[in-house]
Structure 1
């Protein structure tokens, strides 16, 4: 008889069936199971809906599933698990407890050493330039998840893979994330409303990591272009620019905006380009969201999608000068090319980053990973028990008589 057992605990959630004989430990975000009917909560980030999909896929492939908060050490139990999946630190702890398990690290950002280095270098340079002491926002702790993993499921692009040491890159399988943006772009309205002089920066915490300082430095000195800044900014960061921004008529700060709001949609229809010179990303949801609204990306390599040159502009470096080159490229686009890019961004992004596509890619990648592990196990067992020839006689190494 098939049934589910749901254990009420904010730090874990268990999916269990008598028909399933194996166990998977998912070190991720169990709270989504307690809020899945809360539409406002579920659309705050695409990983909410994706987390539900991940649990469902493991369960449908014959695994009982424990979903544990990735940083709740009390949820590192002593049950035997066949698969360990997810994020550190619990991923590391549970992998050590289950050395024979298939270990799949779920990488949603760049390699940790890359991000740590970029955060440190960018904020050190900023503090030196402005005589400030801003803390390291969006820094990461050291961990060896990638090294101990059998395989890495990476949210990102080929640019993300390049942040890893060469010896780890062959472990990586790219999976395209979904988008939590639910609005549909009216192409005719976009083409009629868009202004080639209006640019956007759309991000979250980590203002310097995501290059907002470079963007502000450029637009402060180029009043012929308009900049719209959407997102929650790091405490103390904007204070350094506030006086200059107050004197500029071409820069507007909006703070956090719900992507379903009228104001957000008006800005999405107005803006032609999204400037995102981030130093470290997996695949930035803000870039994907704006592409769905026909906003052409101008990004760093770490904030870029694959084939960025076909859909926008790739910044050669993280600098004000590089942003200037990107803006120059944008302002020189012929109208037919400009409109073509808008159409192609809308079509490509909606086809590539959606929940159905994420589910299909995750399921097929996981199934192939499990099959590969099983084939290796079979080969090992076959070799272990295979008779070998010794002095004209076959000896079976599986037993002694």
Structure 2
């Protein structure tokens, strides 16, 4: 039985808007049918997102399609915010056939349902690797600035113990770190945002090859923005355009230079973004660890060439990306300057190939088709 104090605690936290929706139960329930039940432990946007307004992340779109796939397969669906441990009492009484997602709720309910198919959905790099790589970057930042910066990305949604009881893994990034679990592993791409007014056309490549876009969010040092600022500061002939930088100002200052331009948050559906697309040949994200960044998918959907670090979530792109071998300043600077002088004919072809690849892999219809195929395959297997 749920205590009144627990209910009050949940109401106080969620109903005032700190987190919009802690859980929704019994989606697709049909009392005339014998149905299986799935718990989806994921993000907290399921029932309150206004899809006619600006959406901050493509996982809002993907979450809808995840629910739809399970709905079409006839499941009763319970949805919970992945770290809403205050809500656990609402789910401990249920017996689940499938538990899907990540986070503390995923882990705790999985332990109570040993007969369920446990599917972890990994949108980041392996937690052990993510922590190691983020600490490396923070130490490198300290070496250069004498400023200590806290962890921003690692350990929030994924912990090593969360992988103890899993039966399957759906991975957005690199598969290799997860092979040690000896379970079936599936790869999936995220979706990107698409400006509906965008039309593929040739850029002024002589100029655009000197322009790089960093499109990010929280964790600027994790995502290598500090490295880029240092490089572009001393190379005025190339230009860095920064979008989405909204944290860490106390640690990382963006200098006021003609070749380093900070736009703040930007509307992907707006004309300013289309101007940047036309101006920039490259979308650059020297991140230490990703699943697969939706900002890169977004850039590629607008024919921008991705410049990313190898083994950080993007290896599947193969020849459709510039895969950087290192993140140290000297190496990065040399590679960026080389890209700014890239042969025009090669660059033109590269833009076209990236555009075609992105349109075949990063649309919401592609995500839905791939996710449905994976879940149906898992559903047909005996545990």
SS in 2 for 1:34: coil
Aligned to 1:145: 162
2:193 to 165, 180, 183: 180
Aligned to 1:200: 213
Q: Deviations over 1:101-155 (max 9, x none)?
A: 0000111110111111112221123123212132222231534222321001112
Q: 1:279 to 1:356 in 2, by over 3 A?
A: same
Aligned to 1:68: 80
2:340 to 301, 306, 331: 331
Equivalent-residue separation in structure 1 for 2:326 and 2:58 (angstroms): 29
Aligned to 1:212: 225
Equivalent-residue separation in structure 2 for 1:32 and 1:295 (angstroms): 31
Query: How do residues 63-102 of structure 1 correspond to structure 2 at under 5 angstroms?
Result: 63-76=75-88, 77=91, 78-102=93-117
Contact 1:24 1:84 in 2 (8 A): yes
* Correspondence 1:360 to 2:369: yes
Contact 1:196 1:271 in 2 (8 A): yes
TM-score computed with the length of structure 1 as normaliser: 0.83
Contact 1:228 1:251 in 2 (8 A): yes
Contact 2:206 2:344 in 1 (8 A): no
Equivalent-residue separation in structure 2 for 1:230 and 1:52 (angstroms): 27
* Alpha-carbon distance, 1:194 to partner: 5.8
Contact 1:281 1:303 in 2 (8 A): yes
Equivalent-residue separation in structure 2 for 1:184 and 1:302 (angstroms): 33
* Correspondence 1:46 to 2:58: yes
Q: Deviations over 1:216-263 (max 9, x none)?
A: 1111111111111111243235x6544xx22x3211111111111221
Contact 2:210 2:340 in 1 (8 A): yes
* Alpha-carbon distance, 1:20 to partner: 4.5
Contact 1:57 1:363 in 2 (8 A): yes
Contact 2:216 2:295 in 1 (8 A): yes
Equivalent-residue separation in structure 1 for 2:59 and 2:290 (angstroms): 15
Contact 2:190 2:292 in 1 (8 A): yes
Please identify the structure whose Cα radius of gyration is greater.
1
SS in 2 for 1:176: coil
Which consecutive unaligned segments of at least 5 residues does structure 2 have?
1-14
Query: How do residues 274-313 of structure 1 correspond to structure 2 at under 5 angstroms?
Result: 274-303=283-312, 305-313=314-322
Equivalent-residue separation in structure 1 for 2:192 and 2:178 (angstroms): 29
Equivalent-residue separation in structure 2 for 1:193 and 1:32 (angstroms): 45
Residues paired across the two proteins, number = 357
Equivalent-residue separation in structure 2 for 1:370 and 1:303 (angstroms): 30
* Correspondence 1:227 to 2:240: yes
Q: Deviations over 1:59-80 (max 9, x none)?
A: 2112101011111124332111
Q: Which has the higher contact order (CA 8 A, sep 6+)?
A: 2
Query: How do residues 98-113 of structure 1 correspond to structure 2 at under 5 angstroms?
Result: 98-113=113-128
Contact 2:283 2:307 in 1 (8 A): yes
Contact 1:281 1:302 in 2 (8 A): no
Aligned to 2:11: none
* Alpha-carbon distance, 1:282 to partner: 0.6
RMSD of equivalent CA atoms: 2.2
Equivalent-residue separation in structure 1 for 2:168 and 2:352 (angstroms): 36
Equivalent-residue separation in structure 2 for 1:300 and 1:316 (angstroms): 6
Contact 1:272 1:296 in 2 (8 A): yes
* Alpha-carbon distance, 1:32 to partner: 2.3
Contact 1:185 1:292 in 2 (8 A): no
Q: 1:370 to 1:152 in 2, by over 3 A?
A: same
Equivalent-residue separation in structure 1 for 2:225 and 2:210 (angstroms): 18
Contact 1:269 1:293 in 2 (8 A): no
* Correspondence 1:346 to 2:361: no
Equivalent-residue separation in structure 1 for 2:287 and 2:237 (angstroms): 24
Q: 1:359 to 1:193 in 2, by over 3 A?
A: farther
**Residues 142-151 or 352-361, more deviating:** 142-151
Q: 1:286 to 1:337 in 2, by over 3 A?
A: same
Equivalent-residue separation in structure 1 for 2:376 and 2:94 (angstroms): 23
Q: 1:136 to 1:174 in 2, by over 3 A?
A: same
